[in-house]
Structure 1
Amino acid sequence: MRVYKNFDLTEYNAYRLKSVCKMAYFPDSEADIIELYKNERNYVLLGSGHNIILSKAYYDQAFLILNGNFNAIEVNKAMGVITAEAGASILELSKIAEKNGLTGLEFYYDIPSSVGGAVVMNAGTKEGETKNILKKVRFLDLSDMKVKEQYSKELDLEYRNSVFQKQKDKIILKVWFQLEKGNSRDIRRIMDESKARRWSKQPREYPNCGSVYKRPPGRFVGPMLDELGLKGYRVGGAEISQKHSGFIVNINNATGADILKIIRYTKEKVKEKFGVDLEVEQRII
């Protein structure tokens, strides 16, 4: 396990916000994670850093980071099951599924997230959701410090939500995905088409963390912001994307405070005009 003092988090959050934490731990095993939580509970758990907003320049607390570590992936081709540790990349997962002729993970291709984060948020696109291919999750329950396993039907998986988001005392360790046998060529074609669609619509040229808000019932966030003339609205180094107004981008050394000011202003204007309370999808730390 790697341990660092005064660790620079800039490259560990997709907005590329400049921030430092007092301590950073990079566990390599389930045993490492259990040992860390035996000694301390007040960690900030950080996966790939793709759905978070770091609101502070300095954190006087420890971060437990699963990014490039605790990321083993195993394939049981005969059973159509892929098992992955929480720090594994879902992009890598989709590539491994394609190489093994297993279909179901195509929508994960080019979505930036760790396996743990994808389960917490029930990550998905128009092509699919995590709950559709999730079989089982192994997790550490901090309430009694026991490692437990539950099947997907027990995890309250719904639109961008799960039991792991509602109950912060459950730390995902390992995940099982149930897939179907398919043709690698067809799988690759679907992956490439899905990636092309996202790149044509999303602002990949600037650091961002994807969609800022959950989709309100019967509405789409982007068109509402466009109608309000908010596309391109800027605070400091942060801007509502001129390519897709459902995204906020870091165009010039933005801070977490810049992003949060845009969010507050946007929520206020949308409520005033449409009577809709926007819910932030990204996790504010």
Structure 2
Amino acid sequence: MKVLTDFDLTNYNSYRIKAKCKRAYFPETEEDVISFYKKEEPFVLLGSGHNVILSKDYYDTNFLVFNGNFQDSIVNSSTDEIVAESGITMLNLSELALENGLSGLEIFYDIPSSLGGAVVMNAGASGEEIKDVLVKVRYLDLDDMIIKEIYKEDMGFEYRNSFFQRNTNKVILKVWLKLQLMEKSIIKEKMETIKEQRWAKQPKDYPNAGSVFKRPKGYYVGAIMDELGLKGFAIGGAKISEKHGGFIINYNAAKGQDIIDIIVEVKKRVMERFNVDLEIEQRII
């Protein structure tokens, strides 16, 4: 297992917030993960860094990082399944499916997330979610340090929620996905179409972490921001994107607190106008 001290986290969070941690651990095997947790030291778990807000400049603690590591995968052509470790990105996973003529992951081609993170939050778009192709998950249960497996039917998936989001003492190690055979050209076309549509709507030209808030029942976050005139609202180096009001961007060396302050102000104004308590989709560390 690779261990780095005084580690720079700037390139390990999609907001590109400048931050460091005392020590970063990069596991390569399940044994590495188990040995890390047996230390019983305080730590922060960081996946691909695409759905998090780093609130501090320096973390005097250890980080367990799944980013560029713990990403082995196997394609089972006889069952049209892909079995992959939780650190693989959804981009790489969708490209692997394309290479093997397997459909079901096209919607995730341009969703920034690790596989583990996608399962935890039941990631998705346009009516498709990771649970639609999920078979089972292998995980480490920190209560008894035993590796276990759980099937989709027992995970209680909801919109942007899952068994693993409700039980943070379970660490996803490996995921089984059931896909469908399809012509590669059809898969590729869908992937490119999805990417074009997202790039047309979303602020890809500045660091961000995707949608900040979950969609409230009966509303769309972007429309709410339009009505409140909050597009372009800025604090410090962060602001609400003029291109899509559901996104906060780092346009000028933002700190994590800048982003958090915008979130607090947005929640306040939305509650006052609509009596809606916006729920944050991103994790504040």
Normalised TM-score (structure 2): 0.99
Q: Could you tell me which residue of structure 1 aligns to residue 220 of structure 2?
A: 220
2: CA distance between counterparts of 1:240 and 1:68? Answer: 30
Q: Could you tell me which residue of structure 1 aligns to residue 244 of structure 2?
A: 244
* Residue 82 (structure 1) shift: 0.2
* Residue 77 (structure 1) shift: 1.4
Indicate conservation of the 8 Å contact 1:7/1:24, yes or no: yes
Where does the alignment leave 5 or more consecutive residues of structure 2 unmatched? Answer: none
Identity of matched residues, %: 56
| Helix, strand or coil at the partner of 1:187 | helix
Q: Could you tell me which residue of structure 2 aligns to residue 66 of structure 1?
A: 66
1: CA distance between counterparts of 2:228 and 2:89? Answer: 37
Cα RMSD for the two superposed structures = 0.7
* Residue 219 (structure 1) shift: 0.6
* Residue 5 (structure 1) shift: 1.1
Q: Deviations over 1:38-63 (max 9, x none)?
A: 11253211110000000111111100
| Helix, strand or coil at the partner of 2:190 | helix
Q: How many residues align?
A: 285
Q: Which amino acid aligns with 1:62?
A: N
Q: Which amino acid aligns with 2:214?
A: K
1: CA distance between counterparts of 2:206 and 2:79? Answer: 40
Q: Deviations over 1:20-74 (max 9, x none)?
A: 1111000111100001001125321111000000011111110000000000011
Indicate conservation of the 8 Å contact 1:238/1:259, yes or no: yes
Q: Could you tell me which residue of structure 2 aligns to residue 268 of structure 1?
A: 268
Q: Could you tell me which residue of structure 1 aligns to residue 16 of structure 2?
A: 16
* Residue 284 (structure 1) shift: 0.5
Q: Could you tell me which residue of structure 2 aligns to residue 43 of structure 1?
A: 43
| Helix, strand or coil at the partner of 1:82 | strand
1: CA distance between counterparts of 2:130 and 2:42? Answer: 28
Q: Could you tell me which residue of structure 2 aligns to residue 135 of structure 1?
A: 135
2: CA distance between counterparts of 1:106 and 1:176? Answer: 17
Q: Deviations over 1:110-153 (max 9, x none)?
A: 11110100000100001510010010100000001000001011
1: CA distance between counterparts of 2:94 and 2:127? Answer: 14
After superposition, where does 1:1-285 map in structure 2 within 5 Å? Answer: 1-285=1-285
Q: Which amino acid aligns with 2:226?
A: D
2: CA distance between counterparts of 1:227 and 1:70? Answer: 44
- Runs of at least 4 residues off by over 6 Å: none
2: CA distance between counterparts of 1:127 and 1:16? Answer: 29
Indicate conservation of the 8 Å contact 1:14/1:49, yes or no: yes
2: CA distance between counterparts of 1:242 and 1:89? Answer: 28
Indicate conservation of the 8 Å contact 1:101/1:187, yes or no: yes
1: CA distance between counterparts of 2:40 and 2:245? Answer: 40
1: CA distance between counterparts of 2:41 and 2:194? Answer: 39
Normalised TM-score (structure 1): 0.99
* Residue 202 (structure 1) shift: 0.2
Q: Which amino acid aligns with 1:85?
A: E
Q: Deviations over 1:174-198 (max 9, x none)?
A: 0000111111110111111011110
* Residue 218 (structure 1) shift: 1.0
2: CA distance between counterparts of 1:187 and 1:211? Answer: 25
Q: Which amino acid aligns with 1:230?
A: L
| Helix, strand or coil at the partner of 2:210 | strand
Indicate conservation of the 8 Å contact 1:225/1:231, yes or no: yes
Indicate conservation of the 8 Å contact 1:107/1:127, yes or no: no
Where does the alignment leave 5 or more consecutive residues of structure 1 unmatched? Answer: none
